[in-house]
Amino acid sequence: MISTLDPGSPAARRGLSDISIRNLFIIPTIAFLIVFNIFPLIYSLGYSFTDFRASSNAPATFVGLQNYRDLLGDEHVWNNFSVTAKYVLVSVGGQVLVGFGVAMLLNRKIPFKGFITTLLLLPMMMSMVVVGLFWELLYSPSWGIINYALGLEDFGWLSDANVALYAIAITDIWMWSPFVMLLCLAGLSAIPQHLYEAAAIDRASRWYTFTRITLPLVTPLLLIAIIFRTMEAFKTFDLAFIMSTQETTELISIKLYRLAFQEWQTGPSCALAYMVLIMVLAITNIYVKYLNRAKER
Amino acid sequence: MRRSKWLGILAAATFALAGKAVLAADTLTILWAEWDPANYLQELVKDYEKQTGVKVKVETVPWPDFQTKAFTEFNAKGDAYDLVVGDSQWLGAGSTGGHYVDLTEFFKQHNVAKTMAAATVTGYAEYPPGSKKYWAIPLEGDANGWAYRKDWFEDPKEKAAFKAKYHYDLGVPKDYKQLRDIAEFFYRPNEKKYGVALYTDNTYDALAMGVEQTIFSFGGDLGDYSTYKVRGIINSKQNVEALKFYKELYKFTPPGWAKVFFLEDNQAITEGLAAMSMNFFAFFPALANPATNKNAKGTGFFANPAGPGGKPRFAALGGQGVSVVSYSKKRDQAFKWLEWFIRDDVQARWAELGGYTCNEKVLSSEKFRKATPYNEAFYQSMLMVKDFWATPEYAELLEQMNKRMHPFITANKGTAEEALNGLADDWENTFKKYKRYK
């Protein structure tokens, strides 16, 4: 027998309604988001149209689109964008190749599979600053193990302007391939075995099986991994800042940091931040379109 | 029972907060960078606590974040710090931004300009230059100097080989030409020995300091500090020669030396990598200490040598002055501490502990100059220091200099003329932006 409360009774009035409970759970989060996400977003948009400097007591003066014009006309900023684009391509491309490759290797019955998977996941659990610092030591021409192992003697991975960016990308690939591997492994494990059995019966080649069964079915998860990793690679700061200060490794996030917190050009740095935000949104939208198409298929 | 329990907890909390407030009232907080001199200062201020009962806490931040942390607090008008030992380049930003208390009256009352070394008053306290308005008390004198492997220099075989090749005796370089010869002589990559360790880090002022003292010693300059004229000065013939020279010295550094500041330059001596190493004097105590440098006995020090012709001779000014933060709620106490700090006996004690006093009497005394292996070189350096721009927009100027110099010196990009002409454009545009030109 289910006992029900009379809605008009004092007992019912003491309790919270479903709507109230829902609001109690949601309102603090929304308030937090508004205070720490929405408000700064709008406030900084306002600053992006001014010449405000946080280090001076002078009030902000409206300058219209001057900050955006100056940044778009600055060759250094374009250089930062092109360095960032190169970094994203190399780093994310490498993570996909390595992550997907390792996932393919792990997608079978092997001894100690769980233990091996756990070990492979360790890099992405480390702090990026710590990773940057010890890879800097690994790359050191004077006492680093990489040059010793490869017999490269005095080769300066991080001091050679042409190579430094790729050295940082290799570190990023080492650190984040496990993330891609994890998502791909989940996708690979979800592929129904009967598809492979049917392909085997029809004597399909391994390449055919890979391109017509494995890849299409893993693509949605692979694309999710690529979306996340692209957004993160675009925002990379710690690794590049710790490991190198070459012009050829100055990513856009480092430029933004310097503009905002070393030169205290608050207005222009807000404008640059918005330019970066728009770019990341645009790239993400492209990926999401492909993702939806892949899901439909 | 429940009610009295809550009352008890409330009373305890109130008492704890009141206690904290009382403690806070009797504690002064000084913000400084994280390095040995800050530890010495923390030791020194224990004397102040013994004498007055007021606790002084020295809070430190790693060098790369020091400027950001300090100015974030200033911009928020926070009262977390009562005093700050700011870099000399911050004077303009600190004073015009309203972050520093004007100490001109304090200077007059206590005759500080006469008791502190003239170069330190100009470099660490006065803004604008020549205005006789003061914003800090010189606290830690510093300049860019050199450590070297005295044992390598004194090796009879090395001396003979050097003499045979260069036709003069191997010794502390008297000018930049000799510095280059010695760097070349000791450059032996197969033996993992290199000629020289230089500053190349471009995240703050390391590279700029190394380059500027070379420029100064070649007879060049950064610009006219009173009119802000830079074209024709920053890209002068002497500056081009100086920049080319710094790049040539970079050839003799250990491999992978493109992002180097004080830590690595000291390691070049402790790990036996380089014959000579550039560094601020504040970092030399670690090299004179056998516990931190196994080559301490064989390590010597010298002041920046003269230009190629034997003159001029300059050293890049480092060092800091201590300023009273405008937003501090304990200004009176901060001033009392300053009065204590500038006393001759306290300055002597500061020097004993390892601080680089700016007190003229203590600095020039025989006792100070002989106190450590590097103090004599430090004393000589303080007589010939010269600084970077101290304008409020100094951080932009520094960033622009790093951007132009670093690729040329470490990555073979462009020519010295292009780098300096580009820098002249950058600095001129920056000064125009801030309406420095009348």
Q: Would you call B255 and A141 a contact, using CB atoms and an 8 Å cutoff?
A: yes
ipTM of the complex: 0.71
- Convert the pLDDT of each residue in B204-251 to its tens digit: 888 999 999 999 999 999 999 889 999 999 999 999 999 999 999 999
**Residue B11 falls within a domain, yes or no?**
no
Nearest CA in chain B to A137: B256
A260-A230-A74 Cα angle (round to 5): 40
Q: Would you call B256 and A246 a contact, using CB atoms and an 8 Å cutoff?
A: no
Q: State which amino acid sits at residue A148.
A: Y
The stretch B266-281 carries a mean pLDDT of: 96
* Chain A residues near residue B201 by CB distance under 8 angstroms: 245
pTM of the predicted structure, to 2 decimals: 0.79
| B64 and B116 together in one domain | yes
Nearest to B255 among A57, A156, A245 (CB): A156
**Residue B14 falls within a domain, yes or no?**
no
| B208 and B196 together in one domain | yes
pLDDT at res. A261: 86
- B395 — pLDDT class (breaks 50, 70, 90): confident
User: What b/e readout covers A166-180, taking b as 16+ CB neighbours within 10 angstroms?
Assistant: bbbbbbbbbbbbbbb
> Is A78 at the interface with chain B, CB within 8 A?
no
d(CA A280, CA A286): 10
| B43 and B125 together in one domain | yes
pLDDT at res. B23: 46
Indicate whether B5 pLDDT > 80. no
**Closest Cα in chain B, distance from residue A220 (Å):** 41
CA gyration radius for chain B?
24
Structural domains of chain B, count = 2
| B157 and B282 together in one domain | yes
* Chain B residues near residue A140 by CB distance under 8 angstroms: 256
* Chain A residues near residue B97 by CB distance under 8 angstroms: 55-57
Structure tokens at B145: 């100097």
Q: What is the dihedral of CA B284, B286, B288, B293, to 10 degrees?
A: -130
Contact B309, B155 (CB under 8 A): no
Structure tokens at B210: 């190394």
Interface of B with A in 219-238 (CB under 8 A): none
pLDDT at res. B16: 53
> What rounded mean pLDDT belongs to chain B?
91
d(CA A216, CA A211): 7
**Residue B223 falls within a domain, yes or no?**
yes
Indicate whether A163 pLDDT > 80. yes
d(CA B308, CA B174): 9
| B374 and B265 together in one domain | no
Q: Would you call B256 and A245 a contact, using CB atoms and an 8 Å cutoff?
A: no
Q: At CB < 8 A and 24+ separation, what contacts does A277-285 make?
A: A279/A81, A279/A234, A280/A231, A280/A234, A280/A235, A283/A230, A283/A231, A283/A234, A284/A227, A284/A230, A284/A231
Best mutation target, A52, A53, A55, to test chain B (most B CBs within 10 A):
A55
Q: What is the dihedral of CA A180, A184, A186, A191, to 10 degrees?
A: 170
**Residue B18 falls within a domain, yes or no?**
no
> Is B251 at the interface with chain A, CB within 8 A?
no
**Residue B363 falls within a domain, yes or no?**
yes
Express as a percent the part of chain B with pLDDT over 70. Answer: 94
Q: Of B384, B383, B374, which is closest to residue B307 (Cα–Cα)?
A: B384
- B373 — pLDDT class (breaks 50, 70, 90): very high
The stretch B366-374 carries a mean pLDDT of: 92
Contact A90, A164 (CB under 8 A): no
d(CA A16, CA A29): 19
| B138 and B35 together in one domain | yes
Complete DSSP assignment for B30-57: EEEESSHHHHHHHHHHHHHHHHHS-EEE
Nearest to A159 among B202, B204, B257 (CB): B257
Domain that holds residue B199: 144-316+393-433
| B236 and B199 together in one domain | yes
| B39 and B56 together in one domain | yes
pLDDT at res. B108: 95
| B248 and B280 together in one domain | yes
pLDDT at res. B63: 85
The stretch A222-228 carries a mean pLDDT of: 91
> Is B142 at the interface with chain A, CB within 8 A?
no
The stretch A217-228 carries a mean pLDDT of: 91
- The CATH number of domain A69-296 is 1.10.3720.10: yes
> Is B97 at the interface with chain A, CB within 8 A?
yes
The stretch A50-78 carries a mean pLDDT of: 89
d(CA A151, CA A145): 10
Indicate whether B24 pLDDT > 60. no
CATH classification of the domain holding B378: 3.40.190.10
| B164 and B270 together in one domain | yes
| B303 and B196 together in one domain | yes
Which residues are within 8 A (CB) of B421 and not within 5 positions of it... i.e. 6 or more apart?
B235
The stretch A65-69 carries a mean pLDDT of: 95
pLDDT at res. B97: 87
**Residue B191 falls within a domain, yes or no?**
yes
The stretch A76-104 carries a mean pLDDT of: 95
**Residue B2 falls within a domain, yes or no?**
no
pLDDT at res. B343: 95
pLDDT at res. A9: 59
The stretch A14-32 carries a mean pLDDT of: 87
Indicate whether A4 pLDDT > 70. no
pLDDT at res. B130: 85
Indicate whether B20 pLDDT > 60. no
> What rounded mean pLDDT belongs to chain A?
89
Domain ranges of chain A: 18-47, 69-296
Which residues are within 8 A (CB) of B311 and not within 5 positions of it... i.e. 6 or more apart?
none
Indicate whether B1 pLDDT > 80. no
d(CA B261, CA B220): 24
The stretch A206-223 carries a mean pLDDT of: 90
pLDDT at res. B36: 87
Burial of residue A146, with CB atoms counted within 10 A of its CB: 0-12 exposed, 13-18 middle, 19 or more buried: middle
d(CA A209, CA B414): 53
Indicate whether A1 pLDDT > 50. no
Contact A111, A118 (CB under 8 A): no
The stretch B303-311 carries a mean pLDDT of: 89
The stretch B129-155 carries a mean pLDDT of: 95
**Closest Cα in chain B, distance from residue A96 (Å):** 30
The stretch A137-153 carries a mean pLDDT of: 89
**Residue B20 falls within a domain, yes or no?**
no
* Domain end among B347, B367, B386: B386
Contact A176, A124 (CB under 8 A): yes
The stretch A195-219 carries a mean pLDDT of: 90
- Convert the pLDDT of each residue in A236-249 to its tens digit: 999 999 998 888 99
